Amino acid sequence: MRLLLAAAAGLAVLAASACSAPAPPRSAVPSATPTGPAVLPAPTGVHPVGTTVLHMKDTSRPDPWNLDVDARELKVTLWYPTKQRDGRKAPYMSPKESELVLRGWGIGGVPDDTLSKTRTNAVKDAKPAGRKLPLVVLSPGFTRPMSMLTSLAEDLASRGYVVAGIDHTYESYATALADGQVAECLACDSDTDAGFGTGVVTGRAADVSFVLDQLTTKWDGSGLIDRSKIAMAGQSIGGASAMSAMIKDTRIRAGIDMDGTTYARIPKNGFSRPFMFLGSAQHVPGGAAPTWDRDWKLLTGWKRWIVLTGAEHQSFTDGPLLAEALGSKPSYGVLPAARAIELTRAYVAAFFDQHLMSQRQPILDKPSSRYPEAKLCPETCGQS
């Protein structure tokens, strides 16, 4: 009983975000037992995937959350094409990170290291392959570690992208630092403060610009990256941060906000770089999250607004897959975890393929019989 109640509570945490428009309460029907370690679906591209972790320290600014630290330290996970198919698969997260994330979600009754046993597809520290590849930066939701976007990152890398996922230190329940310590969520004590969301996206924009400086000039593998083809995507406040980062840094050519209420204000004369909103039902026009309505009018370049029928806030992450592994399943007709990952991968990749690789993608222009859950707004939103 302890497991069932805790898992239900944890799923409620997964379904909402401190930095998103409010969602209706949800109940959960836990399965009898956890299903064992989660297994991320195989990437869909032609390239094997490698991954490595970098720790970067920005000495030009203090940490915004830890007043005892005079430099901003970031953990950056890279995924990229490789020729190496065999080798040790990278851990999803460390046992300590798993323990802290489960604690943050309020889930007990399962081994503390459960999430660290999640099975990934990328080979740890494999040698990168390729040259002049597009770069995609990923930013996770508030309190979420970057690992929760691993299935998306692996897929993009298999399609020929270098992917840089940023753990924004002290904004997640757990971030492993270079010295082996694991930073916890100091920002969680401030999430009800006035102006909190605006402050977070401003800080994350600075994180992104610093990471771009390091990757394109100082990283050993910087020769892999085509500096003229850089884009960004994020989930929840990570998606809102994509907008903020693009406004501040012109190196970012295109961006995607996955189900995140926006905070950065677009200039009144508009914003012309390609941008896509990809969200759940709370983000339909005139819905519970009105910032997309406001910003849509100011997007003057290529733009799309797509809502996935049956999606919830965490459908754009590995969250539903992890919830199933913990023994919890939603009690109503949301997208199955595997289908949510498939849809997210398809539309995110299509956007980047079109705007970074100049490959036209019909699913961005009209409804697709293969992906009937995807509704193009405002034209087909709400249609069955």
From first to last of its 384 residues, what are the pLDDT tens digits of the chain? 333 334 434 444 444 444 443 333 333 333 335 678 999 999 999 999 999 999 999 999 999 999 999 999 999 999 999 999 999 999 999 999 999 999 999 988 899 999 999 999 999 999 999 889 999 999 999 999 999 999 999 999 999 999 999 999 999 999 999 999 999 999 999 888 889 999 999 999 999 999 999 999 888 889 999 999 999 999 999 999 999 999 999 999 999 999 999 999 999 999 999 999 999 988 888 887 789 999 999 999 999 999 999 999 999 999 999 998 888 755 434 899 999 999 999 999 999 999 999 999 999 999 999 999 999 998 777 544
Other C-beta atoms within 10 Å of 248: how many?
A: 15
Summarised one tens digit per residue, pLDDT across range 94-108 is: 999 999 999 999 988
Q: What percentage of the chain's residues is helix, strand, coil (to nearest 5)?
A: 35, 25, 45
What residues pair up with 175 in beta bridges, in sequence order? 183
Predicted confidence at residue 324, as pLDDT, reads 86
**pTM across the whole model:** 0.91
Strands 275-279 and 175-176: unpaired
Q: Can you tell me whether residue 95 is helix, strand or coil? A: helix
Q: How far apart are CA 281 and CA 279, in angstroms?
A: 7
Domain range list for the chain: 2-377
CA dist., res. 175 & res. 193, Å (int): 23
CB count, 10 Å around CB of 92?
22
Residue with tokens 């630290």: 69
Q: How high does pLDDT run on average in the chain?
A: 89
Write the CA distances from 324 to 120, 319, 371, integer angstroms: 16, 9, 23
- Predicted confidence at residue 329, as pLDDT, reads 59
d(CA 365, CA 148): 29
Residue 305 sits at φ, ψ, to 5 deg, of -135, 105
Of 65, 193, 47, 188, the residue nearest 126 (C-alpha): 47
Position 93 scores a pLDDT of 97
Q: Any idea which architecture 2-377 has in CATH? A: 3-Layer(aba) Sandwich (3.40)
